[in-house]
Amino acid sequence: MKPGRQSVILEIISQQDIETQNQLLRALEARGIKSTQATLSRDIKDMRLVKELGQNGKYRYTAAPAQPVADDFTQRLRKIFKESVVSYDVAQNLFVIRTLPGLAPAACSAIDGMEVKGLVGTLAGDDTAFLAMKDNEAAQALFHEIEMLF
């Protein structure tokens, strides 16, 4: 339901100049999709829609330009490590991260959402996280990438 609605929202804002949430609600209703203002507001936030100045001099909703994945990955990983990681090392295809007490689950959760190449899965204890990599080379590549960050 949500992905379908958001897909229609993107279609609408690409075809029409939509200035307000009320206009967007009416456009959705015209396509047979009922929604509330609160739901629409969450969709706008989730989809990172922004208002830009249109050719007619009025502001309209548009999709924000995509941020490069590599920059996002780098910034998130750097923040995680600065705030919680004590040490890290490689043991064959396992990447082991030691964190401050209680922060290993947060580190794993963030890493899971980053689409790390070669990552098979993560397992977190209280202060230790294990990242299972596809092979030894993937683990070494992640190690070198993190070394370059610092």
Domain boundaries, the chain: 2-63, 69-149
Give the mean pLDDT of the chain: 86
Would you say 47 and 10 are in contact if contact means Cβ atoms under 8 Å apart?
A: yes
Query: For residue 149, is pLDDT > 70?
Result: no
Of 143, 63, 38, 137, give the one whose Cα is nearest residue 96: 143
What is the Cα–Cα distance from 70 to 67, expressed in whole angstroms?
9
At the second CATH level, the architecture of 69-149 is: 2-Layer Sandwich (3.30)
DSSP 8-class letter at 68: P
Q: Do domains 2-63 and 69-149 have the same CATH topology?
A: no
Phi, psi of 62, rounded to the nearest 5 degrees: -150, 160
- Digit-coded pLDDT (tens) for 87-108: 999 999 999 999 999 989 888 8
Would you say 106 and 84 are in contact if contact means Cβ atoms under 8 Å apart?
A: yes
pLDDT computed for residue 113 by the predictor = 73
The CATH T-level fold of domain 2-63 is Arc Repressor Mutant, subunit A (1.10.10)
Owner of token pair 């609600």: 25
Lowest average pLDDT, out of 15-19, 36-40, 137-141, 146-150, goes to 146-150
What is this structure's pTM? 0.50
Count CA atoms within 13 Å of residue 133 on its CB side: 20
- Digit-coded pLDDT (tens) for 49-75: 888 888 888 899 998 765 555 566 667
Query: For residue 81, is pLDDT > 80?
Result: no
- Give the DSSP H/E element, type plus range, for residue 52: strand 49-53
Tokens, residue 86 = 């004590």
Of 109, 49, 44, give the one whose Cα is nearest residue 76: 109
Tokens, residue 107 = 């580190």
